[in-house]
Amino acid sequence: MQILINEMKRWMVEAGENLKKALAKESLEVDTKSSRTDLVTNLDKQTQDFLIERIVSFDSTANILAEENGKHALSSMEGRVYVIDPIDGTMNFVLEGENFCIMVGIYEDGEPVLGFIYNVIKEEFLWGGPSIGVYLNEDRVNQPTIPSLSAGLVGINCKMYRENVGNSQEIGRRSMGVRMSGCAGVELVHLALGRRVAYISNLSPWDYAAGGAILQTFGMKLSNFNGEPLKFDGQEQFLAASAPIYDEILAIALNTEK
């Protein structure tokens, strides 16, 4: 596994260097997908192709589930599955030039093995998995101590917050504040490092696969916003938090508070 970890980090950092160069040249080709705010660039596609080529060369048994180029569905999570988001936070990539991530999650028969989240501009690489622990760049990271919803910040998806899905406005009100970064990877890293107490959004498998492997290493909980297991199939409303806060938030969302 150590060779795979080292290789994966090397590929992702190399992919990140290419993204930095592309940003410096200001020659992005931007298209829309499902809506005017659902962006994809030539770099999303190129980065995904680059990662898939490296992964498949290394592991000929690899199954791939990835955001672009028609790789967005798999018939099952059986075997070893690499879940790839070549640019998580494409809108930020285009409009901010920062706060975007490259992410890969590795699952074995649906169980998390490894997660890799690389915040390209910050050069902050969070990676790990249940059998090895969690690391930020080269340093071991300990499970954060998160006292309560009322003591921390919550990342919430803009549209879900506006429409008060799952009483998300009340969840925000009970916290220390709501943050919207526009990037699942940024939020899940914050959560793993104790800078957030929860993250609520509308996510696809490539948005949560890497972060999910890392958060589960810390015993944190993630599910759809009804408390049911994530399906790794299409977009779902998503909740992640450390165990006691997860239960507190789900009770607010489902109106089952005692």
Q: Which residues make up the interface to a copy of itself (CB under 8 A)? A: 36-37, 91, 95-98, 150, 152-153, 158, 161-162, 169, 172-173, 176-182, 190, 195
Rounded CA separation 231/54 (Å) = 26
Question: Are the CB atoms for 222 and 203 separated by under 8 Å?
Answer: no
Asked if residue 87 belongs to a known ligand binding site, the reply is yes
User: Which residues, in sequence order, are CB contacts of 129 under 8 Å at separation 6+?
Assistant: 106, 112, 113, 114, 115, 213, 214, 217
CB of 254 to a copy of itself, least distance (A): 20
- 44 in a labelled binding site: no
Helix (H, G, I), strand (E, B) or coil at 22: helix
Q: Which is nearer to a copy of itself, 97 or 227 (CB)?
A: 97
Q: How many CB atoms lie within 10 A of CB 214?
A: 28
CB of 10 to a copy of itself, least distance (A): 26
- Min CB(40)–a copy of itself separation in Å: 14
C-beta closer to a copy of itself: residue 126 or 230: 126
Closer to a copy of itself by Cβ: residue 111 or 163: 163
- Shortest Cβ 39–a copy of itself spacing (Å): 8
Beta carbon of residue 183, minimum distance to a copy of itself (angstroms, whole number):
10
CA atoms within 13 A on the CB side of 193: 17
CB 61 within 8 A of CB 4: no
Helix (H) or strand (E) holding 123: none
Closer to a copy of itself by Cβ: residue 5 or 94: 94
Pair of tokens at residue 90: 């494409």
Question: Given the complex with a copy of itself, which of 9 and 195 has the nearer CB atom?
Answer: 195
DSSP reduced 3-state for 16: helix
According to the annotation, is 207 in a ligand binding site?
A: yes
Q: Provide the annotated binding site for Mg(2+).
A: 67, 85, 87-88, 207
